[in-house]
Amino acid sequence: MDNSREPVPVNDPYRGSDPYRGNGAYRGNPPGTGANRAALIIHTIADIAAGFLGLWIVLYLLEANQANVFVEFVHGMADFLAGWSQDIFTMETEGLRVLLNYGLPAVMYLAIGHGLAVRLRRA
């Protein structure tokens, strides 16, 4: 009787090729490093900024009560974040003007923030 055992298969998720063990399969920083944490912070800040701008666009287009404390807070944050892009587009249609003047910075924050996060993770 032969009691020899079969070796553990190479594609076992707990053995074999581990992308974080330095076998060359992983590009960039391993998880938990300072660069990845910084990338996550930048990514999150960009998402929050774009979220405030997008929320203001939605509240404006849905004609939310401008005297409401929450709407005032979102509008103030959106004005602060989009201060550099105010009146780039001057149109007669007020809704389209708000969409473009607040939408452009939202897209810019997402593009720049996510781009920086990717660069940091690959460094």
pLDDT in the model for residue 26: 53
Is 2 inside any structural domain? no
Q: pLDDT of 80-120, one tens digit each? A: 999 988 888 888 888 999 999 999 999 999 999 999 999 99
Residue 31 lies in a domain: no
Q: Which amino acid would we find at residue 92?
A: E
Mean pLDDT of the chain: 83
For residue 15, tell me if it sits in a domain: no
Q: Which domain holds residue 74?
A: 43-122
Q: Which residues of 24-62 are buried (b: 16+ CB within 10 A; e: fewer)?
A: eeeeebeeeeebbebbeebbeebeebbebbbbbbebbee
In a domain, 13, yes or no: no
**68 falls within a domain:** yes
How many Å apart are CA 93 and CA 75, to the nearest integer? Answer: 19
The answer to the question of residue 113 being in a domain is yes
Could you read off the pLDDT of 28-46 as tens digits, one per residue? 666 667 888 899 999 999 9
* This prediction's pTM: 0.72
Split into its structural domains, the chain has a count of 1
Which one is predicted more confidently, 79 or 35? 79
Residue 5 lies in a domain: no
* pLDDT for 5 beyond 90: no
8 assigned to some structural domain: no
What pLDDT sits at residue 114?
94
pLDDT value of residue 64: 93
What CA–CA distance (Å, rounded) separates 8 from 49?
49
Task: Give the model confidence (pLDDT) of 13-32 as tens digits.
Answer: 555 555 555 554 556 666 66
Query: Residue 62: is its pLDDT beyond 60?
Result: yes
